[in-house]
Structure formats: structure tokens, C-alpha cells
Structure 1
Amino acid sequence: MGTHRRLGGYRLLDEIGRGSTAVVYLAMDLCGREVAVKELSPELAGEPEAVTRLAREMSAQARVRSEYVARLLGGEVAAERPHVAMEYVPGCPLNDLIPAYGPMRHDRLVRFARRLALALGDVHDAGVLHRDVAPGNVIVMGDRPTLIDFGIAHEAGAAQITRRGMVVGTPAYLAPELIEGERATTASDVFSWAATVAYAATGRPPFGRGSLHGVCFRILRGHADLDGVPEPLARLLRPAFRRDPSRRPPARWLAGALADGDRVTLKGDRVVAA
């Protein structure tokens, strides 16, 4: 940015992200702290539906308290320039990190998977569904993930404005029930966690690349590619990929199982910590 600008109580320093509905800036607050400020695109600032979505994002993120989730700091959705401010998270998005440096290995991978499960457990404990857990929404510093972007998140009991045929989220990491137009649940986030961890372990989306139709077909058929995912991690990803959401383990349980390391085993239809 050629000249410094202000938005609310924040001094905008540089543009660090741009999407179809918003621009994200690195900014500084009144205390001199670096923050991330997300502003609705000017053409959407007067659209009630877009402002409502931003308010929903702010409400959902405000409920979550986690050392592995970017913290909401404030915002003004009713302002002339609607915006929200979040903790600035240094690091690299997982979808940039893996192509540049290769898949995660050994203890680093396990720590990453466990901490991302803890992040998701904290989100769910707050009564929130993230709905877009994917490599582009995980910032990594070392083996420490931080979950960001609550743009389509909402409170677990809220009405979901999706319909059959509408795909909301990152398609290659969506649970099958969402592709079929069913309601999102905590189990849907768990499926996306497993897909994201598989990507970190192999450098490949577990349901392949290519056309949206082909990727969705493989998700619906349960054709997850886990070649190269080490045991016992793969033994946790398999149940998280189950077609029936009610049979997927919760995020908090997965975090506990990962803390047990090699003692994680399968017993029949269940994964247990020995």
C-alpha cells in the first residue's frame, strides 16, 4: 500500500490476502500490536446478506478460546466499511508450506495432527462448527498449527443456509454428507481434519485432484488415498473418514489418542488407546 490508511481503530499496513468477498490487511492497533483486519469488498459493503454473513463470522469466532485458533479482537459490521479484526498469526499456510518443503514427518506430523485436533475440539466445545477446515485455513509455524477463517462458520444450533447442490467450503476436504446437502455437524469438521492431516502427511489431497465432479465422486465412494501416511496415524484417519458421521470419533478424543502415540490400536469397529 503506497500510503498508510486507517479502518476503524486500526492502521492498515499491507494487503496480505484477497478473496471474492473480502480483503485482509496486516494492520496495527492503538497499542502498536500487529493484527489482521478483514474488510468486506466495497461492492458488498451495502449488501445486507454479506453484512449478515460477516456478523455471523464475528459471532462464531468470538465464542472460541484456544491457543490454536486465531482470536477475534473486534470489528464493526454496521460501519460504512464493515470489518473484523483478528489476531495476526505469523507463519505459512499449510497449502503453501507442503509444496515448498515437502510432507511433514515423524513426531512433527503427530504433534501437528494432535494440535489441530485440539483446535477443533475447542471450536466444538464453544458450540461452533468451522465448516472449512482445509490446508488453506491452517497457518503453520514449526509444528504449531493455528486455525483461521471463520467465514462460513456458525453456531452449532443455528439454521444452515445451504441447499442440495450447493457446495460450501473447500470441496476436496468436505465430508460426504455436505456434498449431498445434509446439515453440517462436528463430525463433518472431523472428516475435514482427517483430510487436512492426510495432506500434511503425503503432500496430496486424499481424494485426488482434477474436476470437482471426480473429487466429489471419490469422497462419496470413500476412496481416500492414505498411501504414505504412517501408522498409527493412519489408524486414526480411517475412522475419521467413515461414511456415517455418527461413527466418526470426536476431535477431543482424537487429540487424546494422538497423545498416546504408538498405543493407539484398532479393536473391531473402534479405535482404542491401549
Structure 2
Amino acid sequence: MGRVTTREKVLRVRDGVVSERVDTLVVEEPLEVRLNGEPLSVTMRTPGNDFDLAAGFLVSEGVVARAADIAAIRYCAGATEDGVNTYNVLDVTLAPGVAVPRASLERNFYTTSSCGLCGKASLEAVRTTSRWSVADDPVRIEGRTFAAMPDRLREAQRVFERTGGLHAAGLFDAEGRLLALREDVGRHNAVDKLVGWAVREDRLPLRGGTLMVSGRASFELAQKAVMAGMPVLAAVSAPSSLAVDLAADAGLTLVGFLRGASMNVYAGRHRVVLEQDAAAPTPAAASG
């Protein structure tokens, strides 16, 4: 398995004082994903949970939705000059009867760690129809539960504590319990690893679940939440306009700038329960 971190010498300057030290960096390496032996995609990722990453990516593409859809995932022989496996190429074999997405294979797009949409023919190509609807999910979450999520996510980021250079994606239940967490140099990879864990555990759809991400909420992350059946997406930073549009269309609750007790609710307000909601008079009481 590849290394998650590495050590490098750096020149440190603090208030005019210069010193040398060894710093811990997060590793970023390419991962080629093949589907039934044919190249599908290349992504720059942090090694670790690669099988989850591949499975989650296939959920986002609408190829698989349960563990039984995948017959096998295995590393292919890497090719360093000395024959050592780099663990940077893996092949996913679909179960008999699961359709191979020919358009995706022909697209053979390149994905960077900062932009999972690079190389897509058009925005419409990623508006894949989900197998589940999040619009009818009745979950409601209290504002104080949202407020605790960022700290709980950060506390669970073991590699981030050592490097300061990783995104995180966490799955929370309606009571704010952290059920699973994945880290990666790419925010979309972290989400794919989380969704991949869920599909390999046959947990999809993730009814009542909140996807909490450590960065911004892009269109792609909103799409991944919808494809996994998660009704809520929360981010510590801003959403994009397309993420808001998709959330409104799909019935996804989208929360941005979630920092302590502060947040912006961009879509799906009905799932967010605030103290002022309980204090507000009912229509009957107000009219009486």
C-alpha cells in the first residue's frame, strides 16, 4: 500500500528567524481506475481506501448501487523499474448483468485533485439520474446538531493533524453522531471514498444522513450526495451557484459556511430545526 505521508526538509522563516526543519507532507499520487480491464479514469489522490474510492466513483457515475454490483476490485501490477507494485492502478470487475458505461469509457477523462469535472463533455453529462430520491426523506436536524459537526469532523482527521493538507468528508446521522470519515487531498475523492465505503457495506441509500465536507460545496459534491441518497450536504465554506441549483431541483438540503452556531441554509430549509422555530407561534395561536 502507498504511503499517506512523507517527510521533507524545509527552510522555515518565522518573524525573520530562519531555521531548517523536517516537515510532514501529505502524499499525492495518481490512481488509474480500470473497469473490466479497460481504462476509465485517472485521479490524483492520497493513497489509502482506494477500493472505496473506485466504488464511490462508480456510484457517482450511476454504474453501481450495491455491493453485489461489483464482482471484484484488485490492484494491477505496478510498473516501477525494479518491478515493485506502486498500488497506483486498480481494476474493478462488474458483476454479470451490470451494464458497462460505454460513454464513460470512451470519454476516458482525466480528473485532478481539485476538479472532478475536468474533461466532462458538458455539465449535462454529470446530471445522472439517481436511483433514489432525497426529496421525500423526512429527516430533520436541529441547528445545535449542525453546529457540533465541524469540530467533530476536525477531531477525527488524524492525517490532517499531522500535515494540515487534507480535505475530509464525514457521514453524520440525525443526532450528530459521526458514522464514518474519509480524508484525501481532493475533496471529491474524500466523498467518493466515503460513498464507496457505504456501497461496499450495502448501506445505500444513506437515508437520514448528512454529508459534511471540510471545504466548499461544489456542484459535483451535491451530485454525489444525491446519488448516494443523502438528503443533507453541509460545508464549512461556500457553495457554488450550480450546487444550489441542483440542491433545489433534487430536494437536497444544502448548508454552507457552517462554523459553530453560524450557517447559511441555501436549499431545503424544512429540514433545519432552529430554536426560533420552536418559539414561533403556530398560525392558529397567532390568529387567536
Hey, which of these two has a bigger chunk of helix by percent? 1
Larger Rg belongs to: 2
Choose between structure 1 and 2 for higher RCO, CA contacts under 8 A separated by at least 6 residues: 2
* Shared fold (TM-score, shorter chain, > 0.5): no
| TM-score, scaled relative to structure 2 | 0.29
